[in-house]
């Protein structure tokens, strides 16, 4: 019997569900996260119910540089597709349209990423790290250092990140913690130069013709989600994204 109980305890400690539950508990040990939950979670739960999001959910983030918008899409437990839950305005801008090339260029990256850091003690209030650079970014940078430390954060300043007000980052952070705590291993963050309709692409290529090949490679990823309301599976092959 003792051996059996030990096996149950070992399984519960090492299982993904236990690890995810521990993640939220650890996050709530930080004062800013606890405050964010106190101030935002009750109202967010009401909004989730009103939006038809029941129980646990997955999170997908889409950012549009020209429009200065960050969209939060959620997929509730049994649903096959994501639905738009909230849209936040960037509260500051840095650089211009086009991808980030090197450290210090003030550019916000463009491409397909995911959240890789939850920082509850950020100097920008709360922050969610974006896993830039990816393989394509590194290849594009060539001999230059591609840079890093790209975050979605508060404090309304930026040198290439995606900045929100402190009040808005509290909501985004809480929703991201909930998604990860429910078992979502990767939270996608897709950063586009603009809403990548053919009309917009033609419009912006007049001003930024050098980005034609790169943006035309991003466009199918944008179109995939627009058609299906599900993020594509993404493969990086040499200097191109492939979507499945």
Q: Which residues are catalytic?
A: 153, 161
Cα 82 to Cα 24: distance, rounded to the nearest angstrom: 23
**Distance from C-alpha of 16 to C-alpha of 182, rounded to nearest angstrom:** 10
Is there a contact between 133 and 140 (Cβ–Cβ < 8 Å)?
no
| Alpha helix segments (H runs only) across 99-197 | 135-141, 166-181
Q: How far apart are CA 230 and CA 226, in angstroms?
A: 8
The three-state secondary structure class of 85 is: strand
Give the single-character DSSP code of 142: T
List 59's β-bridge partners, or say none: 74
């Amino acid at each position: 019997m003792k051996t059996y109980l030990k096996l149950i305890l070992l399984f519960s400690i090492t299982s993904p569900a236990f690890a995810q539950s521990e993640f939220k508990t650890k996050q709530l040990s930080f004062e800013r996260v606890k405050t964010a939950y106190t101030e935002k979670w009750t109202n967010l739960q009401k909004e989730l119910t009103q939006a038809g999001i029941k129980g646990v959910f997955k999170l997908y983030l889409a950012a549009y540089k020209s429009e200065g918008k960050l969209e939060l899409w959620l997929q509730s437990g049994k649903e096959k597709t994501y639905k738009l839950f909230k849209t936040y305005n960037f509260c500051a801008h840095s650089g211009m349209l086009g991808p980030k090339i090197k450290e210090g260029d003030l550019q916000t990256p463009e491409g397909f990423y995911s959240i890789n850091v939850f920082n509850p003690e950020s100097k920008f209030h709360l922050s969610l790290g974006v896993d830039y650079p990816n393989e394509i970014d590194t290849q594009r940078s060539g001999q230059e250092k591609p840079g890093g430390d790209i975050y979605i954060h508060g404090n309304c300043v930026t040198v290439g990140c995606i900045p929100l007000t402190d009040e808005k980052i509290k909501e985004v952070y809480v929703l991201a913690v909930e998604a990860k705590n429910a078992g979502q291993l990767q939270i996608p963050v897709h950063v586009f130069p603009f809403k990548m309709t053919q009309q917009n692409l033609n419009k912006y290529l007049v001003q930024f013709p050098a980005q034609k090949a790169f943006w035309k490679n991003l466009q199918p990823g944008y179109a995939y989600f627009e058609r299906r309301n599900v993020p594509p599976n993404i493969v990086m092959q040499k200097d191109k994204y492939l979507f499945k």
